[in-house]
Each structure stands twice: as C-alpha cells, then as structure tokens.
Amino acid sequence: MDVLANRTLFVFLLTAIGLIALPHSNHLPSPLVIFFFIILIWRFIGIWYQRWLPGKILLYALTFTGLALLYQQHLGWLGRDPGTSLFMTALSLKLMEVKRQRDIYLIAYLAFIVAASQFLYEQSMFMAAYIVFVCSVLLAAMVMINSRHANIKASLKKAMTILMQALPLTLIIFVFFPRVEAPRWLLFEDPNRAMTGLKDSMEPGSISDLGLSDELAFRVKFTGTIPPVASLYWRGPVFSYTDGKRWTQGRHQGSGMTPSVSEFNGDVYRYTLLMEPQDKPWVYALDMPSEFSDELFQNADYQMLTRKAPDKRSEYQLTSSLLYNTGQLQEDEWVKNTQMPGAASPKIRRLIADLQSGTLSTEQFVGNIMRHFREERFSYTLRPPLMENNPVETFLFETRTGFCSHYAAAFVYLMRAANVPARVVTGYQGGTLNEVGGFLEIRQADAHAWAEVWIKGRGWVRYDPTAAVAPERIDQTSYFQQQFGYELAQLVPRRNLQGSFEWLKTTRELWRSLDYSWQRWVINYHSANQLKFLASLGISGLNKMIYWLIAGIAVFTAVLSGYLFRQRQKPKDKALQLYARFCKKMAATGLVIRAGEGPQDYAGRIKSVSPELAGPVDRITGLFIRYRYGKKPSGKDLSLLKAAISELRIKKGYSVKGKSRSHF
C-alpha cells in the first residue's frame, strides 16, 4: 500500500491530531492555537489539492511565523507552557512536510507527546479517558500504516486490543514501581499561574468575590459520624491587624511558635482531608485540630500549615474536637488583638455605650451586638455596595448590607473599641455531602469569615455574626446556594428544584464520587501513599517492592506470550482456516505441507505424485491465492473455496505410499 497516497489514512491521522490538540485551546495563547489549527485545516485541504500545499519558500515563512509567535508570547525557555507550545508548533509545521513514510511516524510521535502534555494541566478522570481515546485513534492510524488494507474499523479494533493487552502491565508498574519525588528546585514552576482561593488579607468584597465560584477547594471524608453542618468551620488565616479598611496577619505571624490548647472536650472527629492545589501552604482543618500528621504544623494563631508543596494535590489525616479551651492570653497577644487604627468615632462610642449598658460580662456584650445585627434590619448579600471611606462606620450606620467579611470586621472592631481582644478568622463554612461517596465537598462558594473573642476562663471563643442575620447560611447545606448563589436559593424553593432534578443530582454525585476516588488512589499515589498501601499488603521495603515488580512483569509476560502463541496456532483468517483444512486432508495421504512451502509449490508437489488430483487442487489453490492475496478479495471466492474443499473426497485407505488411486 502506498502510504503517502492513501487519503483515508491522512484523514484519519489528521482527525486524531486535531482531537489531541483541542484541549490545549483552553490554556495555551490564542495566537498559537489559531496558528496550529489554520495549518491543520490547510493540510486537510491538501489531501485533495496537493498543489495547494506550501513550497520550500512558503514553508520557511511559516516556520519563521511560528517562531515569531513563540517569541511574541514571552513564555520563557523552560517550563510547562513553553514546552507544550513548542511541541504544538513543531507538530503543525511537520504536517506540511511529509515526503517519506518515516515523516508520518515522526508526526505520530510528536502527537503522542502533545497528548501526554495535557496531563500537566488537568489530571481529572474525564481527561484521562479522553486522552486514552484520542491516543487509541492515533495508534489505529499507526496500525493502518502497517496494514495491507486501510480498514478503519479493523485498525481501531487492533489498536484497542493492543491497549487492553498493555493495561495489566501498566497496572503492575503503576502499583509496584518505586515513586521518586523530584526536588523542588528541579521542577519548572509557572510563577504567573493564578489560583482561586482565600488571600493573606481581607477587605470589603475580598471574600464575596468567591461567593459564586464553583471551584473545588478541598474534600473531606470522616471516619464515622459527620459533625453538624453548623459546626463545620474550616479554619484558615487569622487577621489581627487593621488600618480601618484592610485586615492582615501582620509581619509576625508567629509561625515558629507552638500554640497551646489547655484542654479538648466533646466528641472527637477523625477525617481525611484532600486539598486541591493552591498557592499558599494552608490546610483548612476543622476547628479545632487536636492531632495531625508530621507534615503539618500550627502557627501561633492555630492555623494549620503544611511542609509539602502547596501547588500539588495533597492528602492529610487529622483529628479535631469541637469543644476546646485555649487558655490564657499573653500580654503581646493582648496588645496585638486590641490594636485599633485610631480612636473610635463618637458614633461608634455611643453605640458601644448603648450595647454595654447593663452588661455584666463579655458574653452579654457579645449577645447585645448579635441582637443589634438581628433586630436593626441588617441584610446579607453577595453584592454589597461599595464602602471606600470608613467602611465599618458606613456599614453600621448607613448601608447595613454586606457579606460575611463586613459582619466579621464590624463585630471585631466593636469588640476592640470596647477594649476586648478579638480577631477575624477566615476559612470555609459548611460543605455539600456527596451521598454516593460519603464525603464532603467544600468549594470556594463556601468561603467565610467569622470572629474570635478572648474570654477569661474559656480562651478564644468563636462567634459568627453572619448567623445572626442569615442563619440559613450557617444552619443548612444548601446545594443550590453553592451552585447558583445565595440569593437565587432564596428566590426558588429548594424542594421544587431538587424534585425536578433529583436524577441529575444523583448522576453528578456519582461522577464526583468517582473523581474523588480517582484523585485519592491514582493522582495522589505518591511515594508515601505507595509505601502505606504496599505495607497493608505485607510488602515492606524497597527490595520486596522490586521483587514483586519483577515477578508481576514475568507472570504477565508469560501469560501474554502463551496467549499470543496460541492465537498464532489458530489463525483467525477464514481463508487460512479453510486452506488449513485442505492441508489436513492431504496430510492424511502422506502429502504433508513443508515448512516455508508456498501454496503453488505445494500444489505442484501434489500433482507430480497424484496427477488425478490436479483439477481440484488447482481450483482450491487458485481460489485461495485470489482471495488471500488479491487486491479486491470477494466473499464469493471464499464461498467457492469452502465448497471446493468440501467436494474434495479422498476415500479411506488412499495413500501415496500405498499407491492406491481410488480417491473419489
């Protein structure tokens, strides 16, 4: 078959390349993607109109254009984006230069590299299935190159067979091959890659920006009972310093200090937390963590941090208790958590005097502030009005409309104006239960801010002023709140929507449950998890791991070799099966086909010994050669071959050695 002249092959190959490059349009610069697909379409047209393909001068111009686009995007020399863009550009240019069969092989190899590079951007189960599919199509194109007949269906079947045969070996290598973690300095990281999530400061609107984001933050699977939804506070950065508008952690976060909790009370909850990639080393533990693994540590504000690379998905084992006492407050902590940007305004002082009137304790003062928020027509919204100047005072006396960050900041400001230590805590609250997988999904829409007040004899105590205004934000896990926003959840009855789309919700939960398992057991199968998993099977130590790897490969190779050898002994080609039946009939007379003997040579030897068999032997041999090696095999020839062999009757006792000639 003339590969370079086969239009079917080129259409199939170019279609596979287009499917491979398609996902890269989401993350590579648009000019490079447009350049790639223009050349791909141009090459498609060239299948039928070869005179339209570029000559040497135009090909040089296209090459310089591609290099100019790479330079213009300023993607750097090393890293994920520059490397992928370079391979994409090289693949598109090589499509215009196909002169020999080996050029097609080079194009296929470049396409495999471009397909594999997609995993540098996305590692979901859906993307893995998609890449396996497009690689199967590309492999089928390679099969067509080496086939006598360009049959797409047969090539796809052969490609799938090859992949299925390779699957067991892939699993053995995946499970047993030692994981080697590359040092961080060797990784080509992208400093410009943006990640959604909480920031290291808080100002009006900073958290509300996340309120409509469906992006996943982390997932949690509890061992046993799941805590009440109203208790699901996932602790993040703590802010103690403010300039009146912006809240920050300050220059000294106390990350080197070891916090102390005098006692833990109440129920204990153990859980596995799977963090999504982020740009901060923050781990959002259930408030308050009492036990955690060695790769985690707490700063002085009880915020959990990790020693692992935060830009990779990581799993942690933690234990938390909902009731705790943090003990006494040091003098420097008292000063830090009563800091004010300046003296409170007369309006603020009058409000505090009214709220403190008749109070005997800090708890009563807090209760009065909560009642004030609840009874003075404050409202909760994801789209609060702008409050550029004096945001706390504007919020308390004018707009009275805000998001959780407005309520937390105003609450802490009032506490500090009364000389009570208080601070803002940010993190996530709540989560959506995946009933299929039995785990919680916490998304960016669950981002939240609350307050902590230091109370003598109790330590830091959590208070959530948002709960006084919008208790439904805290007391229930609203599936539609997370998907469509808080306000839409209020406008449309939840039970009506869930009744109409219950099947959709179940399907979605099933898919997310599969994705959770995929992320935990496949994507997150690093060296530590590998050692833990193999230890549960009784395989400990590097030597045992390698022995099992070698043994697994040896067993698989032996089984596959036996299967392939057996398949060769049983040819699936119908013409070969029929011809084998003919050879078996002749072998009974003593005329056994010799190794390497062709059909015509075998027929000549039969006729030289038994001339009376010349007619049927010539007919059988001719039909077999015409069907098996002809350019246009016909099903009719196969039927005639089968009939001719069936009509060949050799009586019992006929033998070349016996010189018997009674054969019909």
pLDDT above 70: residue 258: no
Mean pLDDT of the 355-377 span: 87
As a whole number of Å, the end-to-end CA separation of the chain is 43
- Contact predicate 427/197, CB 8 Å: no
pLDDT above 60: residue 661: no
- Strands of the sheet containing 459-463, edge to edge, are 285-286, 233-239, 422-429, 447-455, 459-463
Which position has the higher pLDDT, 140 or 650?
Answer: 140
Give the helix ranges, DSSP H, for 395-437: 404-417
Q: Which residues pair with 424 in a beta bridge?
A: 239, 451
Q: How far apart are CA 235 and CA 448, in angstroms?
A: 10
- Is this model's pTM higher than 0.75 or not? no
Mean pLDDT of the 137-155 span: 78
Mean pLDDT score across all residues of the chain: 82
Mean pLDDT of the 56-71 span: 87
The band of 238, judged by pLDDT with boundaries at 50, 70 and 90, is very high
- What pLDDT is stored for residue 471 in this prediction? 73
- Contact predicate 81/118, CB 8 Å: no
pLDDT above 50: residue 660: no
pLDDT above 50: residue 664: no
- What pLDDT is stored for residue 3 in this prediction? 60
pLDDT tens for 382-441 read: 777 777 778 888 888 888 888 888 899 999 999 999 999 999 999 999 888 888 888 999
DSSP string, 20-49: HHGGGGGTS-HHHHHHHHHHHHHHHHHHH-
pLDDT tens for 443-500 read: 988 889 999 999 988 899 999 998 888 776 665 444 334 434 444 344 344 444 455 5
Q: How far apart are CA 476 and CA 511, in angstroms?
A: 23
Helix (H, G, I), strand (E, B) or coil at 411: helix
The band of 654, judged by pLDDT with boundaries at 50, 70 and 90, is low
DSSP string, 65-93: HHHHHHHHHT--SSSHHHHHHHHHHHHHH
The band of 515, judged by pLDDT with boundaries at 50, 70 and 90, is confident
How far, rounded to the nearest angstrom, does the alpha carbon of residue 244 sit from its chain's CA centroid? 42
- What pLDDT is stored for residue 572 in this prediction? 62
Mean pLDDT of the 596-613 span: 88
Token pair recorded at residue 578: 């029929």
- Contact predicate 334/297, CB 8 Å: no
Domain ranges in the chain?
A: 3-158, 201-495, 530-569, 574-647
- In terms of C-beta density within 10 A (0-12 exposed, 13-18 middle, 19 or more buried), how is residue 85 classed? buried
pLDDT tens for 524-550 read: 787 777 888 888 888 887 888 888 888
Mean pLDDT of the 59-64 span: 88
Range of weakest confidence among 204-213, 263-272, 596-605: 204-213
Helix (H, G, I), strand (E, B) or coil at 309: coil
Q: What number of residues does the chain have?
A: 664
- What pLDDT is stored for residue 260 in this prediction? 67
| Rg of the chain on CA atoms, in Å | 37
Mean pLDDT of the 33-50 span: 89
Mean pLDDT of the 554-566 span: 82
DSSP string, 527-560: HHHHHHHHHHTT--SHHHHHHHHHHHHHHHHHHH
pLDDT above 90: residue 126: no
